[in-house]
Amino acid sequence: SPVIIPISPVEQPLSRIPVRMSDQEIKRKLKRSAKKLAEKERLKKLGLFGQQADQERIAIRQSLRKLIDKTRKSRSAITGGDGDTLRKIHAEHDKIHESILYTSEANLDVQQLSLLAEFVSETTKNLHQKFNVVSVDGYSDKLKEHFTLARQSDEEANLPFELDWKALGTHAQNKIAATSTADFLSNILDIELSGAKKKASVSRKRDINVPTEQVEKIESNETLLKTQTESRVTLLLKILEKMAPDHRGFPLFNLIINPDSFVQTIENLFDLSFLVGNGRAEFKTLEGELYVSFQTPPNDDELKQGLLNPNQSIITMTYSLWEASIEAYGITSSTIPHRLSF
């Protein structure tokens, strides 16, 4: 959910002016930092950090690339139903998979799995087109016909028709896991799944006589939403004033991220944009990290003289980045109080 944040720069001493970076550079830096920290913590938890040399990792990647190339060349054999080729490739892949510890090798591993899945899916489609299919109704009719003819043969031969249910149950018990074949069922079974029924959409005529109560309800909802946003922004302003008295600021992710709610994290980022827009908060880069701090808004004279040139930045907060940031920065609680939904 992208949020556009207008940033109003403030006059600062030369020692406090951060190095300018483009939006893309900031985003790439944040993502790389979060990924490295997350991967390092993952390997530490597994007790595998620092146990694999670079040469070994290079050899693993080379083996995976050769296997991917071999799999592509074996496409015709796999899609043609050659089970031996598929089993050999699977065995070779499983052997390499046991040595994978890092995400770089895991990406190649996923490519190999995706390639195999694509070929197996194509094999299934080829089998479906190659053989005639038997419907469920046809299968049931064939069963009925088969046993009806058998019973008629017994009646014509004056044989008594008796069914030993106990013997039938004992015999069927051993066949549950592997059903006996039927000689008349020579093709694969086809199951046609009916799609969801779609109702024809009918456009409603617009009623120009909208009830007054409905208009008042919409206006009251808009007022409530505006009031809720203002209260959240006010609370965030108080937190910034309290948490950053020395103007060093507060780490951006530690401030806005709510580890219990992705939606409230987006709301916090949205609320922060209001404070930055009216000059009550500012972004700074300290030791390669983004910080947010409270600032006194610029006066009218500074704006009229053109001493401040407003610009804006786009910060994208996705669900995956939210999860990675929680793990990378070790966030366990929300700085901005969690809001209960009613």
Residue 182 within any structural domain of the chain: no
Residue 298 within any structural domain of the chain: yes
Q: Measured between alpha carbons, how far is 251 from 26 in angstroms, rounded to an integer?
A: 14
- Nearest in space to 5 (alpha carbons), one of 277, 326, 298, 249: 277
Q: Measured between alpha carbons, how far is 237 from 274 in angstroms, rounded to an integer?
A: 10
Verify that 230 and 325 share a domain, yes or no.
yes
Measure Cα distances from 218 to 109, 142, 152, 211, 227 in Å. 53, 63, 75, 11, 14
Verify that 68 and 11 share a domain, yes or no.
no
- Nearest in space to 11 (alpha carbons), one of 301, 211, 320, 326: 301
**Would you give per-residue pLDDT tens digits along the chain (342 residues)?**
455 555 544 444 444 444 566 777 777 778 777 877 776 676 665 655 556 778 888 899 999 999 999 999 998 888 887 888 889 998 999 888 888 888 888 888 999 899 988 988 888 887 766 666 667 777 777 777 776 766 666 666 666 656 666 776 777 676 655 554 555 555 555 555 555 566 666 665 555 554 554 545 445 555 555 677 788 888 888 888 776 555 677 888 888 889 988 888 888 888 888 888 777 788 778 877 888 888 777 777 766 766 666 666 777 788 888 888 888 889 888 888 887 754
Total structural domains within the chain: 2
Q: Structure pTM? A: 0.35
Verify that 232 and 298 share a domain, yes or no.
yes
Verify that 65 and 120 share a domain, yes or no.
yes
Residue 263 within any structural domain of the chain: yes
Q: Measured between alpha carbons, how far is 335 from 243 in angstroms, rounded to an integer?
A: 10
**Domain end point (choices 103, 130, 157):** 130
The three-state (H, E, C) secondary structure of 53-89, written as one string:
CHHHHHHHHHHHHHHHHHHHHCHHHHHCCCHHHHHHH
Verify that 13 and 79 share a domain, yes or no.
no
Q: Measured between alpha carbons, how far is 298 from 291 in angstroms, rounded to an integer?
A: 20
Beta strand 188-190 with 133-135 is parallel
Verify that 86 and 118 share a domain, yes or no.
yes
Verify that 33 and 114 share a domain, yes or no.
no
